[in-house]
A and B are shown apart, each in its own frame.
Chain A
Amino acid sequence: MAPILEYLKSTVTPGEAGSVLWMTVYVLVIFGGASLATMVMVWMERKILAHMQVRLGPMRVGPHGLLQPVADSLKLLIKEDVIPRDADRLVFWFAPLMVVMTAFTMYIVLPFGRTHAVTDINIGILFLLGVSSLGVLGVIMGGWSSNSHYPLLGALRSSAQMVSYEIPMGLAVVSAVLMTSLKTGTGTMSMLGIVEAQFLQRQWFAFTFFPLGLIAFVVFAIAMIAETNRAPFDLPEAESELVAGFMTEYSGFRWSLFFLAEYASMMAVSAIAVTLWLGGWLRPFPNALGGHGWDVAFALVPALLFVGIGGACLLGALRMPTIKELKIQRFGLAGFGFLVLALGLVMFVPTVRDRVQDIFWFVAKIACFMYLYIWYRGTFPRYRFDQLMKVGWKVLLPIALGVLLITATIGVRHELWTLIVEVTR
């Protein structure tokens, strides 16, 4: 009991409090949550993409194909694990591990709330950029060790792409880090600190120095798609040209590790964007709907949403036609409805509410990004490689540099002006 009470009282992350137990729990919860989110994401992607292409998507495995990711992962687990004869076995074995490790290492510093991060590092964003670029190493290892044409070409493309998009990404990040020093005077690179700076300034960095923050955010949003090899920048795994790019020779569980890492890094990179520009775990509309009343109202949103979803599920279970084929689905839906309803009711308790709402807003913002990823994939055709390089070096890089310079200049002016005002007063 003692550790739980201690945890409920703590106002800092387990890493700062030095509690090994809760750090381990957080790591396990985040790992499990990210894996579960990957499965949900696979289903959502197939469904949403299908609807965008006026298809239905998976419909047969479970109601509306809900059990499709379970079936997929079972299939992948029992599939034969092939290692090509001429492959470099050690490197081939290590590459997927490398990719997964880097993808999940990023989650250590992602702040799901003021207390909901494994730990806080004072160079958090630098750590994230460094670790996320290590992922390229795994991709190159996988492509090269396969000793085959397509994986090698995919790995080369991937390394060129990731390295060139890292630069505009880094510059965009720097312009957001510069903004943390406004008003407070001291900048910070800690992920928690960046969100707290947005809280103190009562403004998300996407709207600071409008439109500079927004442009930096858009540059980051484009670069992060290229960074995670997603459409329309999915050249490293272009199906029509390279079979599956660097993971052509991988099968079964190893391939699913690459898959898991891709989705995990997608979520992690979106979390970086959310933290830097969209206020992290802060609720939306800090100014237009400010004040204590609105704070409470927004804190009730997750509980109300859960109760609403649970109620809708129960209503759906009641309205289902009473035939034998739908019996299991009916019980499943009702059970799920009760579970969600109970969770929602628990969230009305003030102490739980205040802790949960941070996670809710953070995850909701990431979910918007995940939808955007699918939306881009459904809309845009793939870039040619020279177009990709042109966008990276000739468009994004100058824009990011310009935004950085102008942000710095305006920021200095802004600080000087406040200083002058204070001195003259």
Chain B
Amino acid sequence: MSLMAIVRRFLLVDFFQGMAVTFRSQHPDQVVTEQYPLERPTIVEGFRGQPRLEVDPDTGLTKCIACGLCVTACPEKLIAVEGERNPETKKKQMTTFSYDVSRCMFCGLCQEACPQECLKLSQGYEMALYSRDGMKLTRENLEQGQKPTEYKR
């Protein structure tokens, strides 16, 4: 042990350095805790969360054309789409859409397959439920977004 190390040890330099570290970390700016329902985390772009079906903002109609590409893309086969051809416009229209989020692993292959940029894994993350019953999302759930359970005093 060198002389310097002995002096350091005798004067408890390392002790004081350690105590300075904890003292400095008391600064309120250093707090990393989020008060969750009051403060919300910033979600980065590209986060794959709650699945949504986009609605055309001008017409209010769904963008989905019931092509079924998402159904084939899904490795878990949890998406089911039904559609019928509209006799007037000769276009296929989506009638029912089902998305079983309890089996979803949020791989994002469905949103990549979608040609209309309609099905998206959005940035929502409040999807916890008390049972599996509500996890089979219907068209309404997907278009309006699933509301988290609200608590009252």
Contacts and interface: CB of A to CB of B under 8 A. Distances in A.
A379 interface: yes
- Tell me what chain B mostly uses at the interface: helix, strand, loop, or mixed: helix
Contacts of B15: 380
Contact of B19 (A51, A53, A375): A375
A56 B39 CA distance: 13
A375 B23 contact: yes
A90 interface: no
A52 B19 CA distance: 10
Interface in A4-52: 48, 51-52
Contact of A55 (B19, B21, B23, B33): B33
B89 interface: no
B31 A379 contact: no
Kindly state the interface size class of chain B when it binds its partner. 10 to 19
Interface string B18-37: 11011101101011110100
A56 B21 contact: no
A379 B25 contact: no
Interface residues of A, number: 13
Contacts of A55: 31-33
Interface string B35-64: 100000000000000000000000000000
B18 A56 contact: no
Interface of B: 15, 18-19, 21-23, 25-26, 28, 30-33, 35
Interface of A: 48, 51-56, 59, 375-376, 378-380
14 contacts: A48-B26, A51-B28, A52-B22, A52-B26, A53-B25, A54-B30, A54-B31, A55-B31, A55-B33, A56-B33, A56-B35, A59-B35, A375-B19, A379-B21
Which 5 pairs of residues, A with B, have the shortest CB-CB distance? A51-B26, A56-B33, A52-B22, A379-B22, A378-B22
